[in-house]
Structure 1
Amino acid sequence: MGILSGLFRSRDKPKNSTSGSSYRFFYGQSSAGKCVTERSAMQMTAVYACVRILSEAVAGLPLHLYRYNSDGSKEKALEHPLYFLLHDEPNPEMTSFAFRETLMTHLLLWGNAYAQIIRNGKGDVVALYPLMPNRMTVNRDKSGNLYYQYNTSSDDARTMKGATVRLSPYEVLHIAGLGFDGLVGYSPIAMAKNAIGLAIAAEEYGSKFYANGASPSGVLEHPGTLKDPSKVRDSWNAAFAGSGNSHRVAVLEEGLKYTPISISPNEAQFLETRKFQIDEIARIFRVPPHMVGDLEKSSFSNIEQQSLEFVKYTLEPWIVRWEQSIFRSLLSRNEKSSYFVKFNVDGLLRGDYASRMSGYATARQNGWMSANDIRELENLDRIPTEKGGDLYLVNGNMLPLNNAGAFANINNKEEENEEILEMDEPDGK
């Protein structure tokens, strides 16, 4: 990683580090003997699947800028320039989906996501460009103020000049994951390098088993002394090594004896190890196993509940980090009292059709949703107001407790008034 000055001169041979910048990463050699970096980790299908699931989930959620009205209600701030940047295009080169997907991937792999904030002369945000976390350093100056130092590359957008650029917090949108100091997050990949390294080692073992394993395999014994044992071995490997030569019949000559010494992958619990590491990686990212293809403990009765828990316990913390970082960095001090940013997760929490209709019916009958409120959630056209689309209805048999019997009292008074009128009327009229 280029963010640690001189530490990651070779991306293939990173070293452990517990000091330096505000980062405390532990990349490098794992206990399984495999080097784990964010790039090698992404070659694991389970890591790739978890990162893709979370990044696409955050990128696919509707993101809106809202404004508070004087009566306490809220509405989308469509006229605000920031609404278009967050909802549609953060810069001329990216869609909102691609921008958020990229930053969320950085957040999951490096524990931090950065974007350069481009402002006009008035201080308004006009563009957001992603910055690579492995080239960013976060430090404090002599006065204790934070600053960001970024090593530019030819792959970057031409928004900065110089090989190394110093940026202020005013110019950087920084979304930090779980960290030691509350300012800079540490990488989930680095913290779980041993689990990921074991998964890499198990996958490599399986690949080499089929690429190099001889079947049958073991020790060739000769009753005498061989002048050139390597020639016999090479001849044996040429005939039986590799998956293409599996199960061929071996013909032994000159008193050769073959003694198998290897054990099958099942006996070595190879498959179980690989499966357990998938669960381990899913646990790192808090992704339900069924979402990465492991359906062993899933059923029709619990998958929906697991999906709801995924939204509440996995997505929501990340979403809150996004919302609060955007609120802190992109809104001015005056705007913070009137505007706020919100991801809409209602689409992920709606459940199946029957459950949604039952919920809508309850909300409609109890007067806290109108027909248009429901139709908007279902992506249906609104009913005109003059036709009752915005009416809030309530069941007639539902009254506040202190009004209990009010209807009966009204009827009794009306009957008493009618009797008085009849008594006052002249006879025959």
Structure 2
Amino acid sequence: MGFFSRKKNPKNSLSTSKNFFWGGSTSGTFVNENTAMQTAAVYACVRVISEAIASLPLHVYRYEDTGSKLLPGHSLYNILHNAPNPEMTSFVFRETLMSHLLLWGNAYAQIIRDGGGRVLALYPLLPNKTDVWRGPDGQIYYTYWRNTDESRPNEKSGGVTLSKDDVLHIPGLSFDGLVGYSPIALTKNAVGMAIATEDYGASFFANNANPGGILEHPGTLKNPDQIRSAWEMLYKGGNKAHRIAVLEEGLKFHPISVPPEEAQFLETRKFQLDEIARIFRIPPHMVGDLEKSSFSNIEQQSLEFVKYTLDPWVVRWEQTMNQSLLLPSEKASVYIKFNLDGLLRGDYATRMNGYAIGRQNGWLSANDIRRLENMNEITPEEGGDLYLVNGNMVKMADAGAAYTKQSSENKGGSGT
């Protein structure tokens, strides 16, 4: 059947409490979600996307005949927009879940409801301590494995099983549509190579940027390990550089010169930065690589980041929240939505030019524009809600009628 054979339980060894192949990589480094975050490129990519999702305005709306209406009085509005639980702000909650989603491929949060099914609070659950399984009744269940410090007083540690209605589960890329696969597990060789190059650089400079050497003795040594240890104790490390070596009994030191450029150390580190940015679909300039960025294309890259990187994650969040948090009676008329307009506005001159076109063609009022720019509105008495159109623009039929009328008037005038 193969490693990915179909099983009864929707467990995923790549993203739940067990790591894929126990974190081993071909580079020889141990890779899991925690060690990956010690790599600067992975940390930067996770931080960029998590903070971007956490900073987006998140609102609750209702469909109406004239459009969508914001519902600040809805019970979910305060939970999603301000504080999902007494211990976290909305920013911290979404940043935490998004980082889980990027590292483990799944984000889980326990849903606390009242007797009527309305959401009272949301608490994050660690993905590496959460298992997903299907019960005999065919329903999906979640088991969260608590530590002793997470248990209530006089309770033992162990698993707590929650039903599907009690968990907000946002899966990432998945083969079965139920549990997402960990990006770190699937790309462990690329991440492992980045960790290996960082370890090599650290050890290289810990050895005073000297790759090592050979101690030559004219005779046969009975204790080579003892001489090697004594030499390293005296001369290894940046704080012991430039000491004067004293060699006895005919010992000679031959340094081995292997510059990092010859081992393509810098090129490898640069390539791994691009490789990890590619995994998370991050423009390189957002993680500090400005080699291919300029004033002419960096704005376009930023807009592409919103369109191709953030927007798919936003859709995952919105559809899962609409499915899991709204009451069945609300799903036809109420929806939860992020606002991406602020990230897609472009520079000031481009926005002003767009507003001018909308204003002159009658589909934007002064107050529409001022609301988009977070400015105070103009009162209706002062014309803030008026929609204007250029007076020189008329319909083709009206233009022909006006020309015919003008011609008739001219002929009639010449005959009198």
> Is TM more than 0.5 here?
yes
In the alignment, the residues of structure 2 paired with residue 271 and residue 74 of structure 1 have an alpha-carbon distance, to the nearest angstrom, of 53
Query: 1:215–1:248: 8 Å Cα contact kept in structure 2?
Result: no
Instruction: Give the partner amino acid of 1:101.
Output: E
1:21-76 alpha-carbon deviations (Å, 9 max, x no partner): 521412511111111111111111111111111010000000111111233x1110
1:211 and 2:206 matched: yes
When residues 402 and 131 of structure 1 are mapped into structure 2, their CA distance, relative to the original with a 3 A threshold, is farther
Query: 1:116–1:171: 8 Å Cα contact kept in structure 2?
Result: yes
Stretches of structure 2 that go unaligned for 5 or more consecutive residues are 15-19
When residues 384 and 244 of structure 1 are mapped into structure 2, their CA distance, relative to the original with a 3 A threshold, is same
Deviation, structure 1 residue 153? 3.6
* Larger RCO, structures 1/2 (Cα 8 Å, 6+ apart): 2
Q: Number of residues paired by the alignment?
A: 402
Deviation, structure 1 residue 194? 0.7
In the alignment, the residues of structure 1 paired with residue 385 and residue 24 of structure 2 have an alpha-carbon distance, to the nearest angstrom, of 62
The residue correspondences of 1:242-281 to structure 2 (distance < 5 A) are 242-248=237-243, 250=245, 252-281=247-276
Tell me what 1:113 maps to: 107
Select which of 277, 301, 311 maps to 1:282.
277
Tell me what 1:103 maps to: 97
The residue correspondences of 1:146-165 to structure 2 (distance < 5 A) are 146-154=140-148, 156=150, 163-165=158-160
Higher alpha-carbon deviation: 231-240 or 77-86: 231-240
1:294 and 2:289 matched: yes
In the alignment, the residues of structure 1 paired with residue 139 and residue 224 of structure 2 have an alpha-carbon distance, to the nearest angstrom, of 70
1:202-234 alpha-carbon deviations (Å, 9 max, x no partner): 111111122246848311212234455445434
Instruction: Give the partner amino acid of 2:74.
Output: H
Tell me what 1:140 maps to: 134
In the alignment, the residues of structure 2 paired with residue 363 and residue 348 of structure 1 have an alpha-carbon distance, to the nearest angstrom, of 20
In the alignment, the residues of structure 1 paired with residue 83 and residue 405 of structure 2 have an alpha-carbon distance, to the nearest angstrom, of 61
Tell me what 2:171 maps to: 176
When residues 157 and 232 of structure 1 are mapped into structure 2, their CA distance, relative to the original with a 3 A threshold, is closer
Select which of 383, 403, 410 maps to 1:388.
383
Where 1:36 maps in the other structure, the secondary structure is: coil
Higher alpha-carbon deviation: 233-242 or 21-30: 233-242
In the alignment, the residues of structure 1 paired with residue 373 and residue 217 of structure 2 have an alpha-carbon distance, to the nearest angstrom, of 78
When residues 202 and 215 of structure 1 are mapped into structure 2, their CA distance, relative to the original with a 3 A threshold, is closer
When residues 209 and 170 of structure 1 are mapped into structure 2, their CA distance, relative to the original with a 3 A threshold, is same
Select which of 9, 34, 43 maps to 2:38.
43
In the alignment, the residues of structure 2 paired with residue 157 and residue 349 of structure 1 have an alpha-carbon distance, to the nearest angstrom, of 45
Stretches of structure 1 that go unaligned for 5 or more consecutive residues are 1-15, 424-429
1:123 and 2:117 matched: yes
In the alignment, the residues of structure 1 paired with residue 309 and residue 337 of structure 2 have an alpha-carbon distance, to the nearest angstrom, of 17
When residues 248 and 410 of structure 1 are mapped into structure 2, their CA distance, relative to the original with a 3 A threshold, is farther
1:320 and 2:320 matched: no
Deviation, structure 1 residue 406? 4.1
1:68 and 2:56 matched: no
Where 1:336 maps in the other structure, the secondary structure is: coil
Instruction: Give the partner amino acid of 2:81.
Output: H
Instruction: State the TM-score, normalized to the length of structure 1.
Output: 0.86
When residues 333 and 238 of structure 1 are mapped into structure 2, their CA distance, relative to the original with a 3 A threshold, is closer
1:86 and 2:80 matched: yes
When residues 150 and 360 of structure 1 are mapped into structure 2, their CA distance, relative to the original with a 3 A threshold, is same
Instruction: Give the partner amino acid of 1:124.
Output: R
Query: 2:109–2:123: 8 Å Cα contact kept in structure 1?
Result: yes
Instruction: Give the partner amino acid of 2:72.
Output: L
**What is the identity percentage for the equivalent residue pairs of Structure 1 and Structure 2?**
62
In the alignment, the residues of structure 2 paired with residue 383 and residue 396 of structure 1 have an alpha-carbon distance, to the nearest angstrom, of 23
Where 1:375 maps in the other structure, the secondary structure is: helix
When residues 340 and 192 of structure 1 are mapped into structure 2, their CA distance, relative to the original with a 3 A threshold, is same
1:23 and 2:12 matched: yes
In the alignment, the residues of structure 1 paired with residue 350 and residue 266 of structure 2 have an alpha-carbon distance, to the nearest angstrom, of 40
When residues 202 and 226 of structure 1 are mapped into structure 2, their CA distance, relative to the original with a 3 A threshold, is same
Instruction: Give the partner amino acid of 1:278.
Output: L
When residues 156 and 84 of structure 1 are mapped into structure 2, their CA distance, relative to the original with a 3 A threshold, is farther
Instruction: State the TM-score, normalized to the length of structure 2.
Output: 0.89
In the alignment, the residues of structure 1 paired with residue 242 and residue 361 of structure 2 have an alpha-carbon distance, to the nearest angstrom, of 72
In the alignment, the residues of structure 1 paired with residue 173 and residue 229 of structure 2 have an alpha-carbon distance, to the nearest angstrom, of 54
Where 1:35 maps in the other structure, the secondary structure is: coil
When residues 409 and 135 of structure 1 are mapped into structure 2, their CA distance, relative to the original with a 3 A threshold, is farther
Instruction: Give the partner amino acid of 1:374.
Output: I
Instruction: Give the partner amino acid of 2:121.
Output: A
Where 2:350 maps in the other structure, the secondary structure is: helix
Where 2:331 maps in the other structure, the secondary structure is: helix
Tell me what 2:354 maps to: 359
Tell me what 1:12 maps to: none
When residues 240 and 332 of structure 1 are mapped into structure 2, their CA distance, relative to the original with a 3 A threshold, is same
RMSD: 2.7
Query: 1:216–1:240: 8 Å Cα contact kept in structure 2?
Result: no
In the alignment, the residues of structure 1 paired with residue 402 and residue 289 of structure 2 have an alpha-carbon distance, to the nearest angstrom, of 60
